[in-house]
Structure 1
Amino acid sequence: MANHDSVVESSPLKPNEAVSSPELVPDLATQPVSDLVDFGQMLFSQAEIFAASMLRPWNAYQIGIALGLWALAHVLRAILGPRIRNWMATREGWPKWRMRILVVVHQRLRPIFFVILLWIAVALMREFTWPSRSYVLGIIATLATAWLFVVFLTRLIRSKVLRRTVRYGAWTYVTLHILGLTSDAARLLDRASIEAGEFRLSLLLIIQAIVILGVLIVVARFFTTTTSKRIQSNEEISPSMRVLIVKVLQLAFYGIAFYIGVKAIGIDLTGLAVLSGAIGVGLGFGLQKVVSNLVSGVIILLDKSIKPGDVISLGETFGWINTLGARYASVVTRDGKEYLIPNEDLITNQVVNWSHSNDFVRLDIFFGTAYGDDPHTVRKLAIEAAQGVERVLTFKAPVCHIVGFGDSSVDYILRFWIRDPTQGLTNIRGNVYLALWDAFQENNISIPFPQREVKMLNNEPPNLPD
């Protein structure tokens, strides 16, 4: 059995000991900014010491074991991966959420096998050798496990950019925490700062602000989404009031999250309030249209003149309101085009709301028949033809009237009602015209059209003067 001296000599140099030694790490809070270069050189020298300790025999073979286990995990992934995938293909009756978890696990088989093999190796080495002989391998296993958990947790984030940002940030923090370097890294980030009077901004403060605000915004977004779904499903609230309540809740939740985040970081909002007031006056002149649209949107939601689902006409635009935003309203036409109409135009211009108080819409079509046809028969046939068209309401019976005697026809107007203007107006007019055509053809009712006759008086050429 080795003596005490040999045991001490075989103890590896721990990473946190190499970095946080009092002789090597100065007090960064009192070190002048001009010595930052010297501090970088000091860190480089400490890194050299740490690398040298890793090359010692009892540490080098642990790194070699880790590399061998990674290669073995790669081989296991190549052998078992296709079999697991084929087994997943036979699970047709499983819920989608369970299949998604299996897909994520299948994509991470290599690191999963690596973590399992690492902990098996650490357990065996701690059982049959000195604990110091598996110290580096234990650190590698802890890091690999933490990184793997970070990967699985960040899969819950849908945005790829945000997912990668959170993943890399979590990997960095977990690594520093496991190696015992968090306090030293915090002091180093706090040293990189900008000072102007009592104002001081450091990298550490910026990172803390990003983390705290990010977490609070995610929480605010969760509460906003959950509350919005409940409000949208409440049929007792009008559609316009639902939109208004959702917008107010979004503003309140995000505003509270920003205020709490800024106060938690320690930024004084008194000076910011004065500065924001001055900026607001300047922006008020430059963003008059934007402010006007915002105020117009609030007015529209309050007076309920326009709400999602209404069919409107504004100039040449005819369609239904898809969404009401803070600055504009989205109007979708029958041809699939989506117009973004500023809220100010909906307030100042004349808007035809086909479904403001109710869904009933009356349509008029004009036609003419020959003078030789009986007007009473024509009116009866027109009403019956309109009543036979789908979408034409029968309890609000169509009517047909004579509106004039034209040059070659008796002119009529046919009026009928529908209650689904969102399904289109041109198509229902066309169907009624087609029904009139069929009815007139069956009953020998003629639709006159202008005719012109050209009469040649003679074929002699005109007499031209000499």
Structure 2
Amino acid sequence: MNDTNGLVSGILSVADVFNIYAILLLILGGFFIWALTVALNNGSKRLMEKIPARRFLILQISTLTTFALYIFGTIGLVVGVLQPPQELLFAAAGSIAVALGFALKDVVASLVAGILLLFDRPFRVGDRVSFGDTYGEIVSIGLRTVRLVTLDDNLVTIPNSRFITDVVSSGNAGELDMMVVTDFNLALDADLATAQTLIEEVVVTSRYAYLKKPVSFTLEEIEVAHTLAIRLRTKAYVLDVRYEKAFQSDIVLRGTALLQKHSIARPKPVLS
């Protein structure tokens, strides 16, 4: 009899908490949180267009604020509207934890990983990163996934948990500028000093170059098409990561033309 009365009392407690008025407030509150985050993202996009030099900072603040709105807004909404009894709150939390642990293991792992990424910050919104065979710019760090846009303009979605266990490299680490590496293959008997001078001239006169950081060169003997050659590697910084490929294309186009103009020998493949 006591067990039956306890069950009835529990059902009535749950019914008191989840009444029509409370459910309506939850729906309205959830819509408000969603609308607020959408407005925040739209506002940050307009602000980035007006202040492009602070694009990364704006994206990072927007991401942090979105995280806070979703996490604390949802907790505050549930507790504030439902105002559940302490016993029901503990029981619900335990049940949810068990259910999530078994049924949503991967999702929970991604949620926890998203929080870790927020504080550990191995990369930031706006960074150019390499993850496995994927290379692109981080456009959002969400509660469950990270989205990046490749140089072919494909949107790639990766679960947060992957970034905790796999290796990821960031090309600019939160900075607007980034090193761009460009290679030129020269013949063994080429005038290397002249070639380096010509390529340096191309780099420093490029409209995409960030000249507050040094331009450097390395020379290495390699094999190209079954013949030995000298690889002239140029390391220079682009003023904005969005111009990475435009900068590299500019160096290759004008550099190749100058090398041809000054008759700098290039490697010739050995015909079998």
Q: What's the TM-score bracket when you normalise by the shorter of the two chains?
A: 0.7 to 0.9
- 1:431 maps to a residue whose letter is D
**Mapping 1:45-194, distance limit 5 Å:** none
Map 1:25-424; keep pairs closer than 5 Å.
197-198=8-9, 199-200=11-12, 206-218=19-31, 239-240=59-60, 242-263=62-83, 268=85, 270-271=87-88, 273-356=90-173, 358=175, 359-369=177-187, 371=189, 373-404=190-221, 407=227, 409-424=229-244
Cα shift readout 1:264-292 (whole Å, capped 9, x = no counterpart): xxx75633531441342242133222222
Q: Is the 8 A contact 2:219 2:233 kept in 1?
A: yes
Q: Structure 1, residues 395-442: CA drift from partner, whole Å, max 9, x if none?
A: 4453444323875544433332223223334x4333322222211221
d(CA) in 2 for partners of 1:410, 1:209: 73
CA spacing shift, 1:316–1:368, aligned 2, 3 Å = same
CA apart distance, 1:391: 1.4
Task: Check conservation: 1:216, 1:261, Cα contact below 8 A.
Answer: no
Cα distance change, pair 255–224 in 1 and its aligned pair in 2 (3 A): farther
User: Aligned residues: percent identity?
Assistant: 21
**Quick one: distance in 1 between partners of 2:154 and 2:44?**
29
In the TM superposition, residue 323 of structure 1 has moved relative to its aligned partner by 0.8
Separation of aligned partners in 1, 2:230 and 2:30:
70
Taking the aligned partners of 1:335 and 1:305, their CA distance within structure 2 comes to: 24
Q: What is the CA RMSD across the aligned residues, in angstroms?
A: 3.6
CA contact (8 A) 2:179 2:235 kept: no
Whole-Å Cα distance in 1 between the matches of residues 236 and 253 of structure 2?
15
1:40-82 deviations in Å (ceiling 9; x for gaps): xxxxxxxxxxxxxxxxxxxxxxxxxxxxxxxxxxxxxxxxxxx
Are the structure 2 counterparts of residues 215 and 239 from structure 1 closer, same or farther at C-alpha, using a change threshold of 3 Å? Answer: closer
Could you tell me whether the CA contact under 8 Å between 1:241 and 1:301 is conserved in 2? no
CA contact (8 A) 1:314 1:351 kept: yes
For 1:324 and 1:411, how far apart are their aligned partners in 2? Answer: 38
The residue type paired with residue 255 of structure 2 is: L
TM-score by length of 2: 0.74
**How big is each residue's C-alpha offset from its partner over 1:78-99, in whole Å with a ceiling of 9 and x where there is no partner?**
xxxxxxxxxxxxxxxxxxxxxx
Matched to 2:221, the amino acid is G
Q: 1:228 to 1:270 in 2, by over 3 A?
A: farther
Q: Are 2:242 and 1:429 equivalent residues in the alignment?
A: no
CA contact (8 A) 1:408 1:449 kept: no
Higher share in helix: 1
Q: TM-score, normalised by structure 1?
A: 0.46
* Aligned mates of 1:298, 1:321 — CA distance in 2: 16
- Which structure is richer in relative contact order (CA contacts within 8 A, separation 6 or more)? 2
Using the alignment, how far apart are the partners of 1:253 and 1:405 within structure 2? Answer: 58
State the distance in 2 between where 1:326 and 1:386 align. Answer: 41
Distance 1:388 1:224, change over 3 A: closer
Specify which of 248, 260, 264 is matched with residue 441 of structure 1: 260
Can you give the 5+ residue segments of structure 2 that lack an aligned partner in the other structure? 1-6, 48-53
Instruction: Please state how far the C-alpha of 1:299 moved relative to its aligned partner.
Output: 1.3
Q: CA 1:219–1:378 in structure 2 vs 1: closer, same or farther (change >3 Å)?
A: closer
- What secondary structure sits across from 2:207 in the alignment? coil
Is the 2:124–2:174 Cα contact (8 Å) retained in structure 1? no
CA, structure 1 residues 259+225, in 2 after alignment: closer, same or farther (shift >3 Å)? farther
- Computing the radius of gyration from Cα coordinates, the structure with the larger value is 1
1:224 to partner: Cα distance: 6.4
